[in-house]
Amino acid sequence: MHNYEIAEQFTLLGKLMDIHGENPFKIKSYTNAAYTLDKLAEPVSEMSPHELFAIKGIGEAIGQKILQLIENKRLTILEDYIEKTPIGILEMLKIKGLGPKKIITIWKELEIETVGELLYACQENRLINYKGFGAKTQQNIQESLEYYLQHQGSYLYEQVETLACSLQNSLYEKFPENEHIISGHFKRQMETIDFLDVVTTLSENKLINWLTEKEFTITKLDEFISCKGVDNFEIRWHITSPENFYWTDFTLASSPNFLKKWVENPFFKKNF
């Protein structure tokens, strides 16, 4: 796993722990670790445990969780928090202007658990009665919600981040013997994302059976399998062999211009 992928998992963990009212010092340790990982030049996946634990801001406790992620592509503690968090609350993390503190108030005090309910609360002017929500803040949140709901086919990177982390965790939990990675525009951290590209070594039958169980609408195309959930967001599945897994990821995550220059490079032609 890349450093930024591990950092994303710890960032999400910190947000969910904050929402659930966990110890602020523990939360800070995870968010600091995410920041440290994001800035590291050397891949932690290539470090020994001793080197990893020695990094300032990591230490042994978090280092062990990083090793778990690298080895199993799963972070058990994050899965536990995702499991006990309502889907609508997870979705709120995608909304611009809504951080953990505001979501706590929305969930625990207003008893709102969906984006739709929150929009109604804004329209009914109910947020301004609570600490941290002035008229201007409420208006900004309402505009962000309306934008989010009106552009379901196109998301900001930050809005997709939670879904992508959750999806990758679910895949490795269900199919630990296979490789899976979120690729494409998400991996390039594009400003807006119309769909998620997932590269997997799952067989077509296993993938379709799993998507059917999850009640996705499935469309088989020549180059990939497309599916959509109740939110109508598209996920494109690219099935590949273990040998071609990283190459498929590379081609999907590269811009067309970069990929063209890469394959035309004499070194590439000679060695590949």
Exposed, middle or buried, 87 (CB in 10 Å: 0-12/13-18/19+)? middle
CATH architecture of structural domain 87-150? Orthogonal Bundle (1.10)
Residue 29 in this model has a pLDDT that exceeds 90: yes
pLDDT band, residue 152 (cuts 50/70/90):
low
* Residue 153: pLDDT over 70: no
Nearest by Cα to 89 from 162, 149, 139:
162
Q: Can you spell out the DSSP letters for 68-136?
A: HHHHHS--HHHHHHHHTS-HHHHHHTTSTT--HHHHHIIIIIS---SHHHHHHHHHTT-GGGSTT--HH
Residues 6+ apart with CB under 8 A from 62: 10, 29, 30, 33
Calculate ∠ Cα 130-132-138, nearest 5°.
80
> What pLDDT, on the 0 to 100 scale, is given for residue 2?
86
Average pLDDT of the chain? Answer: 90
C-alpha distances (whole Å) from 99 to each of 2, 103, 132, 145, 272 are 25, 6, 11, 14, 46
Terminal Cα-to-Cα distance of the chain (whole angstroms): 24
Kindly report the CATH class assigned to 3-83: mainly alpha
| Residue 145 pLDDT greater than 80, yes or no | yes
Give the model's pLDDT for residue 148: 81
The pLDDT confidence band at residue 126, using thresholds 50, 70 and 90, is very high
Q: Is pLDDT of 269 > 60?
A: no
- Give Cβ neighbours of residue 84 (< 8 Å, ≥ 6 apart): 20
Question: In the chain, which segments carry CATH 3.30.460.10?
Answer: 156-271
- Confidence (pLDDT) at 116: 84
With pLDDT > 70 as the criterion, what percentage of the chain qualifies? 95
- Give just the sign of the alpha carbon dihedral 252, 159, 194, 234: positive
Long-range contacts of range 16-20, CB-CB < 8 Å, 24 or more positions apart?
Answer: 16/78, 16/81, 16/82, 16/85, 16/100, 17/81, 18/100, 18/101, 18/104, 19/85, 19/89, 19/100, 19/103, 19/104, 19/107, 20/81, 20/84, 20/85
Distance CA 180, CA 135 (A): 44
Q: Is the pLDDT assigned to residue 252 strictly greater than 60? A: yes
Sole residue written with tokens 């040998």:
243
Q: Given a cut of 90, is residue 140 above it in pLDDT?
A: yes
Q: Give the CATH number of domain 156-271; options: 3.30.70.1230, 3.40.50.450, 3.30.460.10, 3.30.465.10.
A: 3.30.460.10
37 versus 156: the higher-pLDDT residue is 37
With both helix axes pointing from N to C terminus, report the angle between 24-39 and 3-19 in degrees, rounded to the nearest 10. Answer: 160
Cβ(192)–Cβ(155) below 8 Å? yes
Q: Does residue 102 or residue 267 have the better pLDDT?
A: 102
Instruction: List where CATH 1.10.150.20 sits in the chain.
Output: 87-150
What type of residue is 201?
T
Residue 259 reports pLDDT greater than 70:
yes
Q: Is the pLDDT of residue 256 over 90?
A: no
Give the residue with greater pLDDT, 271 vs 147. Answer: 147
Closest listed residue to residue 179, CA positions, set 105, 249, 109: 249
Predicted pLDDT at 270:
46
Provide the pLDDT for residue 105.
96
Half-sphere CA count of 115, side-chain side, radius 13 A: 23
Per-residue pLDDT tens digits for 65-121: 999 999 988 899 999 999 999 988 999 998 989 999 999 999 999 999 988 899 889
Residue 114 tokens, joined: 């969906």
CATH code 1.10.150.110 region(s) in the chain? 3-83
What is the tens place of the pLDDT at every residue in 210-249? 999 988 999 999 899 999 986 778 999 999 999 999 999 9
Task: Output the pLDDT for position 267.
Answer: 63
For residue 228, how many other CB atoms are within 10 A of its CB?
Answer: 14
Average pLDDT over residues 14-27: 95
Which of 22-26, 71-75, 176-180, 231-235 is predicted with the least confidence, judged by mean pLDDT? 231-235
Given a cut of 70, whether residue 151 has pLDDT beyond it is no
